[in-house]
Every structure is written in structure tokens, then in C-alpha cells.
Amino acid sequence: MLAIALPSGRLMEECVKLLENSGISFPKEILESRRLSGIIDNKKFLICKPKDVPIYVEYGTADIGMVGKDILLEENTQVYELYDLGIGRCRIVVAIPNSLEPEEIFFRGDIIRVATKYPRIARDFFNKRGISIEILNLSGSIELAPVTGIADVIVDIVSTGRTLKENNLRIWEEIAYSSARLIANRASLHIKADEIEDLLNKLKRG
Amino acid sequence: MRYLTPPPGFRDYLPEEVEKIRLIEKTIRETCESFGYREVITPTLEYADIILLGTNIKDDTILYKVIDKDGALLSIRPEFTTSIARLITTRFRDKDGPFRFYYKGKVFRNIPFQPLMQKEFSQGGAELIGEPSLSGDIEIIALIEEIFERLNLEVYIEASHAKIIPAIIDATQAPILESIKSGDFVSIRSHIRDKEILSFIEALPFLNGGKEVIDKASRYINSIPMLEEPLNQLSELISNLEELGYNKTKINLGVIRDFEYYTGITFEGYLEDLGLPVLGGGRYDGLLEKFGLPLPATGFAIGVERVASRIKREESIPDLLIGYSKDKFKEAMRIAKEERKKGLKVEIILSDREDELNIKKGRKKIFIC
């Protein structure tokens, strides 16, 4: 049996649609109740917080998983990234207040405070640029931070850009492109190679 | 004082776990010795720059470091191979190889804490130094299979070759090194134009099995010429192991170990229902040269606690339990002494009533009052 971890929330619906288009059934009880796991066609589906998908896969509790590249970049887990599922597309960006020029923020000599839920990605990006920063680790509504003055800039994901716009922010730099990926546990890829290859081929065709 | 529990990544082991750990260490020791390997003990602390040079560790924050009295930076060992290579280059410089050594002991890695990834854990392994031919690689894998056979555990060994990834990089000249290291096949795809090479890379995780894998992979030699040598070696390795009756080893070209460190056959071992490898190793012909003695080498290390977690074994309990009332202590000790001489494990317990003995574990129980 192949165990598959899917992210809860918005991305789950897209993942389920993708699976169904590829002819892979998904357990009804998950969609119709609050159950977080279900078995169908010799496949076990686990619904986890997006951030936890790579953890379930790394430990082999799930053989494969579907998860955004943003989370893979942030979590730094040891998993194989097999395929770009092409859903959940977004960009990870540095955004700054409309009222300020980049020079006013980045070259004024102070340490810049960055609000984000992606501390690793943010630190890595600014380290490479040689810009000294302080990370403010928030869990959501990141756009609020520069407006209230608790941080100077933000690092966050953007899909349409509407939230940025409505909170008087604009993109300064794009750090990375993100979309949902099919990931696999290293050991499962050896022990359950045939089942995983079969599923991958179905997804590629679908 | 902060907490009474050990720091994250460190833990206590209770007797039943220790018994399993010791069983594995004993099996490694006996099997290695039956192959003519002898044990060496190397220091827990080494110069940090020797460790960094020997291990190819890029992130030196995973080393626990201390400053010696003379100001030198020392590191607690994160593995054994570097220490053994250093030992050979200093103590066996003028002797003829090959050298067969095994070891066991604790290693320490300052990695972010997560379950199953202890910062302190035990490794047991062996190094065969000075044997350049494939016979050395075959011997090492045979030794591993024998260890797991004796432990009665089903092991899956996945063999690959360190020259496969460099062959791809040579053929494509694309900046895919980092993506390959992190197992990111998606970003590799975006860098490669050549369809044949791309289809080889995509097939990599699934190129696993017996000799038929070599046939499948061989058709890519036209586009990736440097594949020929590693594929030939793997083919010979598998044929030899099969003929010798070692059938736990398969080819898996998707196993990517540090190809800047390893130079030939590499392998990892897995147990059922454990998502992380329990052993790893391969040929590292470049290491001893860094210490000034160019000798070929191959070896393996087993993660002892990870294997122990899969051992099913009855807890060892006393052969004889003697309960005694207050004034019968000496009598109990005398009987115990006699029985211990016969080789029994005897525990004595002060106890007011006979039924108190019943809740204790023991094969045989007597009560003196």
C-alpha cells in the first residue's frame, strides 16, 4: 500500500482534482467528513498541515506527498522532489511599502527588520546580498507588518498580488517561483518503486 | 540546572534497549572478525581541520567543537572513517596493505533536533584500505549481508556508483550540481535540453533491480559516454554477489551519495518500515591521499540504534529470584553465590511476604523465611 500525504486547505482541493483527472480515486470520507485519513484502491491518503507534508514523507510515514516548493525551500527536509504538479503556482518575493524607495530602506545603514513565515528563505536571500537583517517570525497576515511599523519589509508568497496592493505594498525582488511538487521518501523510492512510478506516470498523462 | 531530562537529540537507553544495541555490536564484531578484520579504537576528539578535510562536511556547524589548552580547535568525531584514514597514514605508512579494520563507538553531530535523528548515536563499521579492485567492494557488501543474516533481519542494500552523476554533469555541462545533491529532479529538468539525457535523469530513481537495470541504462551510453565504466563495475558487482549467494543487494542508480567524497561503488541499506537508511558506505579512493598516503579504500558504517529499533527480542530476566525475610540476608547471599558460580543470573530481594515476589520477573523463584 502506498501512503500519500496531501496538504490541507486550499491546495488540497486542487490536488484532489488533479488526482481525479489522472484516474486516481480519492476517499470520499475525507471530503465528506472531518476524517484526516482514508484508504481507497490500495492507497492510503493522509491530510496534514502543508508544512508537515515533507515531515511525514521524510520519516516514511507517507511514501509520497504533494507540497508547495515554498515549503520545501523553507523546511530543508531530505526528500526527493520528483515532479512539478503545476498547481498552486505563486512567487516568493520581498515586498516593500509603496511610500518608500528601496534605497531609503536598504541603504540607510540600519538593520532592516523582515517579517515573514519563511525565516530560512529570507535569511538566505539577504545573506547572499550582504544585507544585515533581523527576522520577525510571524504566522500569517504578514502584509500587516510594514503598515504597522513592526517591520520594514516582508518576505511572503504572492499569487495575484492583490493583498499586497490593498495593503500599500509592492514587490521589490522575486526570490523564487513556487508550485506544488510531488515528493518521495528516499527509502520508499527503493522499496515501492513500481507503485510510485505508476502513480507518477498517471499524473504526467493526466 | 535547567531540566532533568537530557538535552534534545540526546537520550537515555533502558536495559531492554541496551541489550538490543549490544547484540548488534556483538554481531558486527564477530562477523567482522570472521572476515579477518581487527578492531581499532581512535580518539573521540580530533583536530577540527582534519575532520573537515576528511569528511567533506561543508557546514562546520554540525561539528561539536572545543578549544584545546594550546588553543587548537578540536572536534568531537562525527564519524570514524576520517580517524581511521588518519591512523593508517600515521601508523602504517611503511607497512604493506591491505588493512582490514573495524570499529564501534559513539559519534556526535550538532544537527537540528528531530525524532529518529539523534545528535549522539553509535556507529559500527569496517574499512578495507589498500585494496583497489572490485573484490574489495564485493567483500564489504558480503560482510554487511552476513551481519544482517546473523541478526535475522531482512536488509535491502541498494548499490550505485559515484561516477554516474559526474558522467551526467560532464555530458550536459549544465548547472545541476546543487539540484542533484538535494534530490530536486524538477529543477534539473528545467536546465537540460538534451532529451536523451533528460530521460535518463528522470528514469534514475526508478532504475533499480537486478542486472536488467544495466541493460536499460546502457542504451544511454551514446549520449553519456562516461556511464560505461560505472555500469560495467556495477554489472560485475551484482553478478559476483549473485554467484556467491549474496542476494540482498540490488542496483539502484537513484541512490545518490556524496559524489565528491566517494569515487566508486556506493551503497545504502534499508530495513522494512523505516524510512531512513540504516547503513551506508562505498569506495573513497581520494581520502587517504589528502593525508599524504594515496591508498584506495572502501568501507561501511551501520547506525546501531536504528537497527536496534527493529530487533525483536525477549527481555533478559534473572534465572533465579531469591526473596528473603529480614534476618535471612546472609543465607540468601550464600545460595546466590553458589548459583552464580553455575553461571545463573541471580537477583536477591528483601521481601516480607512470598506473594510480593510474584510481581517481579524471574524464571525461577524461591523464598526464604
Q: Would an 8 Å CB–CB cutoff place A13 in contact with chain B? A: no
What's the CA gap between A169 and B196, in Å, rounded?
45
| B150 and B13 both lie in a single domain | yes
Residue B92 counted as domain residue: yes
Is pLDDT at B109 greater than 80 in this prediction?
Answer: yes
Half-sphere exposure of B244 (CA within 13 A, CB side): 17
Residues of chain A with pLDDT under 70: none
pLDDT one-digit tens code per residue, B263-304 = 999 999 999 878 789 999 999 999 999 999 999 999 999 999
Residue B354 counted as domain residue: yes
pLDDT one-digit tens code per residue, A126-180 = 998 888 899 999 998 999 999 999 999 999 999 999 999 999 999 999 999 999 9
Starting at the earlier edge strand, list the strands of the sheet with A133-137: A133-137, A112-116, A153-158, A90-97, A169-178
The Cβ of residue B72 has, within 10 Å, a number of other Cβ atoms equal to 12
CATH code of the domain containing B165: 3.30.930.10
Q: Looking at residue A62, what is its pLDDT? A: 95
| B160 and B187 both lie in a single domain | yes
Q: Looking at residue B84, what is its pLDDT? A: 97
Bridging pattern class, strands A2-7 and A64-68: parallel
Cβ pair B132, B239 in contact under 8 A: no
Q: Looking at residue B68, what is its pLDDT? A: 95
**Interacting residues of B365 by C-beta distance below 8 A, sequence separation 6+:** B320, B321, B322, B323, B357, B358
Q: Would an 8 Å CB–CB cutoff place B59 in contact with chain A? A: no
Cβ pair B320, B366 in contact under 8 A: yes
Cβ pair B270, A190 in contact under 8 A: yes
Q: Would an 8 Å CB–CB cutoff place B61 in contact with chain A? A: no
pLDDT one-digit tens code per residue, B293-347 = 999 999 999 999 999 999 988 778 899 999 998 899 999 999 999 999 999 999 9
In the structure grid, which three cell numbers stand for residue B290, read together? 589528502
Q: What is the DSSP string of B156-206?
A: EEEEEETTHHHHHHHHH--S-HHHHHHTBHHHHHHH---HHHHHHHHHGGG
Cβ pair B311, B323 in contact under 8 A: no
Starting at the earlier edge strand, list the strands of the sheet with B279-283: B38-39, B99-108, B120-129, B297-303, B279-283, B265-271, B155-161, B249-252, B208-209
Mean pLDDT of chain B: 92
Domain boundary among B308, B332, B354: B308
Cβ pair B279, B302 in contact under 8 A: yes
Cβ pair A151, A114 in contact under 8 A: yes
**β-bridge partners, A115:** A136, A154
What's the CA gap between B251 and B269, in Å, rounded?
12
Q: Which amino acid is at B36?
A: G
Q: What are the backbone dihedrals phi and psi of residue B47, each rounded to the nearest 5 degrees, phi first?
A: -60, 135
Is pLDDT at B355 greater than 90 in this prediction?
Answer: no
| B301 and B164 both lie in a single domain | yes
| B260 and B330 both lie in a single domain | no
Is pLDDT at B113 greater than 80 in this prediction?
Answer: no
| B149 and B172 both lie in a single domain | yes
Residue B71 counted as domain residue: no
Q: Would an 8 Å CB–CB cutoff place A193 in contact with chain B? A: yes
What's the CA gap between B250 and B237, in Å, rounded?
10
Nearest to B209 by CA among B160, B172, B167: B160
User: Is A189 within 8 Å of B273 when comparing Cβ atoms?
Assistant: no
Q: Could you tell me the pTM of the whole model?
A: 0.83
Q: Would an 8 Å CB–CB cutoff place A192 in contact with chain B? A: no
Residue B21 counted as domain residue: yes
Measured in angstroms, the CA of A31 and the nearest CA of chain B are apart by 28
Q: Looking at residue A193, what is its pLDDT? A: 85
Residue B143 counted as domain residue: yes
**Interacting residues of A5 by C-beta distance below 8 A, sequence separation 6+:** A45, A46, A47, A48, A52, A53, A56, A57, A61, A62, A64, A65, A66, A67
Q: What is the DSSP string of chain A?
A: -EEEEEE-SHHHHHHHHHHHHTT----HHHHHSS-SEEEETTEEEEEE-GGGHHHHHHTTSSSEEEEEHHHHHHH----EEEEE---S-EEEEEEEETTS-HHHHHSSSSPEEEEES-HHHHHHHHHHHT--EEEEE-SS-TTHHHHHTS-SEEEEEESSSHHHHHTTEEEEEEEEEE-EEEEE-HHHHHHTHHHHHHHHHHHHH-
pLDDT one-digit tens code per residue, B187-206 = 888 888 888 998 898 888 88
Instruction: Give Cα A6 distance to the centre of its chain.
Output: 12
Measured in angstroms, the CA of A26 and the nearest CA of chain B are apart by 24
| B209 and B325 both lie in a single domain | no
User: Is B206 within 8 Å of A186 when comparing Cβ atoms?
Assistant: no
Least confident of A37-41, A84-88, B114-118, B121-125: B114-118
In the structure grid, which three cell numbers stand for residue B191, read together? 536546465
What's the CA gap between B163 and B265, in Å, rounded?
8
Q: What is the mean pLDDT of residues B73-98?
A: 94
| B180 and B325 both lie in a single domain | no
- Angle formed at CA B299 by CA B298 and CA B300, multiple of 5 degrees: 150
User: Is A188 within 8 Å of B254 when comparing Cβ atoms?
Assistant: no
Nearest to A84 among B186, B252, B254 (CB): B186
If one counts the domains in chain B, the total is: 2
Q: Would an 8 Å CB–CB cutoff place B257 in contact with chain A? A: no
More confident residue, B368 or A146: A146
| B232 and B326 both lie in a single domain | no
Q: Which amino acid is at B90?
A: T
Q: What is the dihedral of CA B256, B258, B260, B266, to 10 degrees?
A: -70
Name the residue with cell 556526535: B108
Nearest to A187 by CA among B203, B119, B157: B157
Question: Which of B59, B181, B186 would best serve as a mutation to test chain A binding (most A beta carbons within 10 A)?
Answer: B186
As a whole-number percent, the residues of chain B with pLDDT over 70 amount to 99
Return the exposure string of A47-63: e unless at least 16 CB atoms fall within 10 Å of the residue's CB, then b: bbebebbbbbbbbbbbb
Bridging pattern class, strands B265-271 and B208-209: unpaired
ipTM for the assembly: 0.71
| B252 and B352 both lie in a single domain | no
Give the three-state DSSP class for B95.
coil
pLDDT one-digit tens code per residue, B12-52 = 999 999 999 999 999 999 999 999 999 999 999 999 999 99
Residue B46 counted as domain residue: no
User: Is B183 within 8 Å of A181 when comparing Cβ atoms?
Assistant: no
What's the CA gap between A148 and A151, in Å, rounded?
8
**Interacting residues of B43 by C-beta distance below 8 A, sequence separation 6+:** B77, B83
Residue B44 counted as domain residue: no
| B175 and B301 both lie in a single domain | yes
Q: Looking at residue B317, what is its pLDDT? A: 87
Starting at the earlier edge strand, list the strands of the sheet with B320-324: B346-350, B320-324, B364-368
Question: Which of B276, B279, B306, B310 would best serve as a mutation to test chain A binding (most A beta carbons within 10 A)?
Answer: B276
In the structure grid, which three cell numbers stand for residue B50, read together? 582534519
Starting at the earlier edge strand, list the strands of the sheet with B73-76: B45-47, B73-76, B65-67
| B219 and B327 both lie in a single domain | no
| Domain of B90, in residue numbers | 2-39+80-308
Is pLDDT at B213 greater than 80 in this prediction?
Answer: yes
Give the three-state DSSP class for B212.
helix
User: Is B208 within 8 Å of A61 when comparing Cβ atoms?
Assistant: no
Measured in angstroms, the CA of A68 and the nearest CA of chain B are apart by 12
Q: What is the mean pLDDT of residues B50-74?
A: 93
Q: Looking at residue B216, what is its pLDDT? A: 92
Residue B117 counted as domain residue: yes
List chain A residues with CB under 8 Å of B277.
Answer: 186-187
| B15 and B164 both lie in a single domain | yes
Name the residue with cell 576520517: B82
Instruction: Give Cα A14 distance to the centre of its chain.
Output: 14
